[in-house]
Amino acid sequence: MKAKKVIALSVKYLLLLLGAIISTLPMLYMISTALKPNGALYVFPPRFFPSADEITLENFGYILNKGGFLINFWNSIIVSVITVAIAALVSSALAFVLARFRFVGKKLLFGFIILTMIIPGTTMIVPQYELAVGLGVVNKLMGLIPFYVAWVIPFSTFMIKGFIENIPKEFDEAVYIDGGSLYTVYFRVALPLASPAIASVTIFNFLTAWEEFPWANTVINDDAKRTLPIAISGFFGQHQFTQWGYVFALSALSLIPVLLIFVMFQKYFVSGIQAGGVKG
Amino acid sequence: MKIGTNANRLRVASLLLPGLLIFGAFTVYPILKLLVMSFFEWDFGSMFNQTFIGLANYQEVIQDEYFQIAFQNTIIYTLVTVPGQMVIGLLVAALINSIKRFRVGFRVIYYLPVITSWVIASLIFRYVFNTEGLLNYLLNNILSLTSSNVRWLDSRWGGMIVAMVLGIWKGIGWNMVVFLAALQSVPNELYESAEIDGANVLQRFFRITLPSIRGTILFALVMLTIGGFNVFTSIKMITGGAPAHQTETLLTWMYYKAFSTGKFGYSAALSFIMALTLGLLAVLQFRLMQSDKAGDAL
Amino acid sequence: MKKTIAILLAVCCVGLMLASCGSTPASSPAPASAAGEAPTVPTEEVTLQFWHHYSAQSAENETLMNILIPKFEQENPGIKVNAVSHEWADLHDKLLISAQSNTLPDVARLDSAWIPEFQQMDILVALNQEMSDFDSVAGNLLESAMSTAKIGDDFFGLALNTNTKILYYNTKALADAGIAPPATMDDFVAAAKTLAGTNGDGQQVWGYNEPGLSGWNLCPFIWSCGGELTNPEQTIATGYINSEATVGAIQMLADLYQSDSITGWNSGDIPMTDGFGTGRYLMMLEGPWKTAELAGAYPDLEYGTAPMPAGAGGSHSVLGGEDISMFTSANKEAAWLFLQFMTGEFAQEEMAKCGQIPVNKATMETETVKNADFAPYIEALPNAKSRPTVAAWTEMDNDLMVSVTAVMNGEKSAQDAMDELALKWDALLAQ
């Protein structure tokens, strides 16, 4: 019996390990290519790992020292951080009201917010661009943030609402009895207790803002205001020529912040999604 | 809870307002504008004096043979990748849930593909599946399983299959996290009593686990279907629609029509046809999951 | 839980902090394009917005930013130029979207293939009508290059640089096979077949690479084999795109593809530059930009160049190149000064140093140009022809790609595919 359990457990770990390798291979390949000289992608025989004598930090050196990519990195950080911060505040406020109060048209409103998720964002570029022109935010980082916030509101609100509905109402009532207002409940009960849900949508939202390409490419013109995905696409040449080493080096560096955010918030991830997703 | 006093009404409104303002201005307004565009002739020649043409754009989209190919491809992509991701994701979640050590480690590793950007993941897949790429080198030169290099990317279905493999690979992590959350909320007592009744692993899975996580399955189903319809970057980077637009999906075709041929009215109409299809599918999924027992539905 | 709030608050604070410092550079003054209607007052500073697709990391871009623009601004006090680099396809899309909302730049460097499209949108200035000294300015530039900006009787830009494609070949491979660089189309076909096969590593190699199946790729073969796309007036395709010579050219390429002698347009093929650099493709038709790219990525590769192989129709490559145009919303006087500067002797010679083939007749006579790497291209230019300059070209080009793909994959005969294509093109040309 015990031997059987050991075997079963070993099989489980083996399966998981196999999957883990498949999950990480492409990323390892990205890093290994970034460490090879620029023209080495299609040499024969193909090598997964760079050979000892061809390992070079030239690609990373170029990215960090020349080409001004630090400003792109910085822009992406600004845009993504502000986006997730605003999205967390406004979505949790929306979710709190929708979870706790009854008013005319509430179901309709929530349904409508959810419904907009089925319209693909890419298709809205033309009307959105006209709006950005009207607001005078073309070629500014402010031309990105509110649009990103608006895109992530439906999913964020949906997830946080599900979570708040699972928080016992007694917590609210205790605050009201102590003479607290609705704001007190929102700030002292809803926000802190829903923080796992907020943390998990923050992971999603950060990624959305961090890797968004078509819209940023449309709104931003100047080099100094570009975000990372646009900077990366600058390496794809018109004439069938790509500097692979630079592309992969910059991409590898661009993963770091997303990874940091995930590791920072991941312990709230499971509990955060639980209520939101399960309740639907 | 009822809102009650006027003062409270104001407070509720003040909480709703910022979100609704941003949402209204930056999402709802463009959608309405897009809807208007879909009824106008709006392209290169008529960019500054559009004429109302009713449903003609919609008619043109539906009769377009490339739209039909793109529609088929998108449906097939969704039909393959959504169950694919869910089944593997659920399996991984169940495995992680049943072990004690390295749980966090596996969780982070399996989530890595989710946070790799689509552009980079597509580039890597394109290289791996290149006719002269890593996979063929492995199959042909190292393992000698094939006698010549397989041309993975050069046909309609070859290209679609690679895009689908990428879609599944990249989606497993998200499903794993979502299902892990659901599995951990299934009460342990249910399993214990089933074990006493002598139910084996599979029986426990189908009789207890699946019914208990029905809500999550529906949630994942709807979200992933939306995601499947939105497939764009991978196709654009891997095949670019080649050969001869045979691997276009709804969004890549829409993008092509809008930005390469300037047919904005056409692409607006296409967006709403796509949204309508998604809406119908979502309703269907809700019906299916609510009327049947979870076991029958799957 | 308290920790989470702390994190969130910290995130918010950082966010607000970033917002305040992020917004400072973002509040630059509005572009001068609004002042376009009024005559320019010399005391008022004008900023010209100039969009181009010199790639961001290129020598061309450095010359533009560090030599040309400073010099122009010094010569023209009161005019500033804000130059912005976009990726080639992105520039097209961005101009399209900007046109929708009247936020076009003042001046742009346009692929000459886009001119008909933008002209149809009524956003380009007809320079010969607006500028009194147009004739004397245009007279300094090559007529063949200027023709790319001409639609009807009007000119919608000035030629900025020109290019065409010539044959690149792997010196060692040809020497090993004992063949000379192909001078005729028959030689080319024979060479492609001879060079194809397997290399020392047992890897498949191809005699020739063609990275696509659109007009840019097919025209050199069609024209050199004596075929045409349309009649000279560009009103009818039947009898030209499905003529015996044109069909023959397509059939020739299809036969080469079927015998594994050429490839390149499939998604699973090695990208052209990497394949040529690693000796998997032994010939290709490419433009002057390839010299610098190969030197950077594959410095050890030995290659030679030759003119487009001559067939029944002669040796005709395809004319590429860029024009510089101003949009109707531009500050026209300042923009015209900039257009003249960019096509003037100084700027043309500086750009020639980074491999851009000049169009200014005086610059063509300088030592810089005579000694440049691109000398072989200049010889090929007089015989190079331009693709149809009609607004429907994008659509026609797409139809061509679809039809020829079917021929290559053996789904249709070349004659059937071209007959069908001719009917489609007739309809598009009639619009």
Distance CA B133, CA C274 (A): 13
**Per-residue pLDDT tens over the stretch C79-100:** 999 999 888 888 988 898 888 7
Same domain (yes/no): C274, C396: yes
Angle between helices A69-100 and A195-211 (to 10 degrees): 140
Whether residues C201 and C131 share a domain: the answer is no
Classify burial at C20, counting beta carbons within 10 Å of its beta carbon; exposed 0-12, middle 13-18, buried 19 or more: exposed
Angle at B224 between CA B221 and CA B226, to 5 degrees: 110
Give the closest of C19, C97, C273 to A125, CB-based: C97
pLDDT tens-digit profile of C348-401?
A: 999 998 889 999 999 999 988 888 888 899 989 989 998 998 888 888 999 999
Rounded to 5 degrees, φ, ψ at C266 are: -75, 150
Q: Specify whether the CB–CB gap between A60 and A119 falls below 8 A.
A: no
Give the closest of C22, C51, C270 to A42, CB-based: C270
For residue A48, what is the DSSP state?
Answer: S
Q: Are residues C95 and C119 in the same domain?
A: yes
CB contact (8 A) between residue C296 and residue A129: no
C231-244 pLDDT tens trace: 999 999 999 999 99
pLDDT tens profile A182-215: 889 999 888 999 998 999 899 889 988 998 988 9
Is the Cβ of A98 closer than 8 Å to some Cβ of chain C?
no
* pLDDT value at residue B68: 97
% of chain B exceeding 90 in pLDDT: 46
User: CA-nearest residue of chain C to B160?
Assistant: C267
Same domain, C406 and C276: yes
- Which of A9, A181, A185, A270 has the highest number of chain B CBs within 10 A, making it the mutation to test binding with B? A270
Asked if B243 and C409 come within 8 Å (Cβ–Cβ), the reply is: yes
DSSP string over chain B: -B--SHHHHHHHHHHHHHHHHHHIIIIIHHHHHHHHHTTEE-SGGGTTS-EE-TTHHHHHHHH-HHHHHHHHHHHHHHHHHHHHHHHHHHHHHHHHHT--SSHHHHHHHHHHHHHS-HHHHHHHHHHHTSTTSHHHIIIIIIS--SSS---TTSSHHHHHHHHHHHHHHHHHHHHHHHHHHHHHTS-HHHHHHHHHTT--HHHHIIIIIHHHTHHHHHHHHHHHHHHHHT--HHHHHHTTT-STTTT--HHHHHHHHHHTS--HHHHHHHHHHHHHHHHHHHHHHHHHHHHS-HHHH-
The ipTM estimated for the assembled molecules is 0.87
Q: How far is B111 from B132, CA to CA, in rounded Å?
A: 29
With 0-12 / 13-18 / 19 or more C-beta atoms within 10 angstroms meaning exposed / middle / buried, residue C212 is middle
Distance CA(C314)–CA(B180), nearest Å, equals: 69
Backbone angles phi, psi at B290, to 5 degrees: -85, -35
Separation in Å, CA C74 to CA A186, B176, C36, C64, C80: 60, 62, 22, 14, 9
Give how far A233 is from chain C: nearest CA, Å. 8
Residues C197 and C285 in one domain: yes
Query: B124 and A41: CB-CB below 8 Å?
Result: no
Q: Are residues C217 and C358 in the same domain?
A: no
Distance CA B285, CA B283 (A): 5
**Partners of residue A233 in chain B, C-beta under 8 Å:** 119
C54 contacts C85 by C-beta, under 8 angstroms: yes
B48 touching C, CB under 8 A?
A: yes
Q: Exposed e or buried b for every residue in B53-91, given b needs 16+ CB within 10 A?
A: beeebbebbeebebbebbbebbbbbbebbbebbbebbbb
| Contact state of A218 with C85 under an 8 Å Cβ cutoff | no
Residue C11 lies in a domain: no
Each residue of A232-255: pLDDT tens digit? 877 776 666 777 888 888 888 988
Of A67, A82, A130, nearest to C100 by CB-CB distance is A130
B44 pLDDT band (50/70/90 cuts)? low
The domain tally of chain C equals 2
Structural domain range at position C378 = 47-163+320-383
- Tens of pLDDT along B211-268? 888 888 988 998 899 999 999 989 988 998 889 999 999 999 998 888 888 888 999 9
Domain at C182, CATH number: 3.40.190.10
The rounded percent of chain C whose pLDDT value lies above 70 is 90
Q: What pTM value is reported for the model?
A: 0.88
Closest partner residue to B15 among A45, A97, A210, by Cβ? Answer: A97
Q: Classify strands C46-52 and C79-85 as parallel, antiparallel or unpaired.
A: parallel
Same domain membership, residue C312 and residue C172 = yes
Residues of C in contact with A238 (CB under 8 A): 53, 55, 87-89
In CATH terms, is domain B57-297 a member of 1.10.3720.10?
yes
Region B34-63: mean pLDDT is: 85
What are the backbone angles phi and psi of residue C108, rounded to the nearest 5°? -145, 150
Flag whether residue B45 sits within 8 Å of chain C, measured between CB atoms. yes
In a domain, C132, yes or no: yes
Q: Determine contact, residues B53/B39, Cβ cutoff 8 Å.
A: yes
Q: Are residues C83 and C208 in the same domain?
A: no
Against chain A, the chains showing at least 3 CB pairs within 8 Å are: B, C
CB-CB neighbors (< 8 A) of A14 in chain B: none
Q: Chain A window 218-237: which residues touch B at a Cβ cutoff of 8 Å?
A: 229, 232-233
Distance CA B160, CA B153 (A): 8
Q: What are phi and psi of C13, to 5 degrees?
A: -60, -50
Nearest to A222 by CA among C84, C58, C66: C84
Residue C312 sits in the same domain as residue C329: no
Across the interface, do B47 and C93 touch by the CB < 8 Å criterion?
Answer: no
For residues B15-35, average pLDDT: 92
Whether C156 is covered by a domain: the verdict is yes
* Chain B nearest C-alpha distance from C387 (Å): 17
CB C118, CB C332: distance < 8 Å:
no
* Contact yes or no for C120 and B260 at CB 8 A: no
Task: Using pLDDT thresholds of 50, 70 and 90, give the confidence band for residue A275.
Answer: low
Asked whether residue C221 falls in the same domain as residue C171, the answer is yes
Between residues 74 and 103 of chain A, which touch chain B (CB distance below 8 Å)? 86, 89-91, 93-94, 96-97, 100-103
Q: Phi, psi (5° rounding) for residue B182?
A: -65, -45
Q: Which of B224, B223, B251 shows the shortest CA–CA distance to B235?
A: B251
Task: Report whether C324 contacts C126 (CB < 8 A).
Answer: no
**Residue-range domains of chain A with CATH:** 1-58 (no CATH), 67-279 (1.10.3720.10)
CB-CB neighbors (< 8 A) of B48 in chain C:
121-122
CB-count burial class (<10 Å; 0-12, 13-18, 19+) for C354: middle
Disruptive mutation site among B11, B22, B125, B213 for chain A (greatest number of A CBs within 10 Å): B22
* Residues of chain B with C-beta less than 8 angstroms from the C-beta of A15: 95
Mean pLDDT, all residues of chain C? 87
Percent of chain B residues past pLDDT 70, beyond the cut = 94
Residues C136 and C216 in one domain: no
Cα torsion A231, A237, A240, A243: sign: negative
The maximal CA–CA distance of chain B, rounded, in angstroms, is 79
DSSP letters spanning C175-242: HHHT-PPP-BHHHHHHHHHHH-EE-TTS-EEBSEE----SHHHHHHHHHHTT--SS-TTSS--TTTTT
* Chain C residues close to B261, C-beta within 8 Å: 394-395, 398
Determine contact: B139 vs chain C, CB below 8 A.
no
Residue C124 placed within a domain: yes
Closest residue to A119, CB basis, from B109, B178, B271: B271
Of residues C268, C401, C409, nearest to B130 (C-beta):
C268
Q: What pLDDT score was predicted for residue C19?
A: 40
Residues C19-41 have a mean pLDDT of 39
**Cβ-contact C68, C342 below 8 angstroms:** yes
Please report, for chain B, the start and end positions of each structural domain, with discontinuous segments joined by +. Answer: 57-297
Nearest CA in chain A to C53: A238
Instruction: Say yes or no: B42 contacts chain C, CB-CB below 8 A.
Output: no
The answer to whether the CB atoms of B48 and C122 lie below 8 A apart is yes
C266 interfaces chain B, CB cutoff of 8 Å = yes
Q: Are residues C223 and C81 in the same domain?
A: no
pLDDT tens per residue across span A65-91:
876 788 999 999 999 999 999 999 999
Give B-chain residues touching A127 at CB under 8 angstroms.
29-31, 33-34, 37
Q: What DSSP state is assigned to residue C32? A: G
Query: What residues of B are in contact with residue C93 (Cβ under 8 Å)?
Result: 259
d(CA C39, CA C54): 31
CA atoms within 13 A on the CB side of C100: 26
CB nearest to B44's CB, from C93, C120, C405: C120
Q: Please confirm whether the linkage preceding A45 is cis (ω < 30° from 0).
A: yes
For residue A5, pLDDT over 60 is answered with yes
CA distance B230 to chain C (A): 20
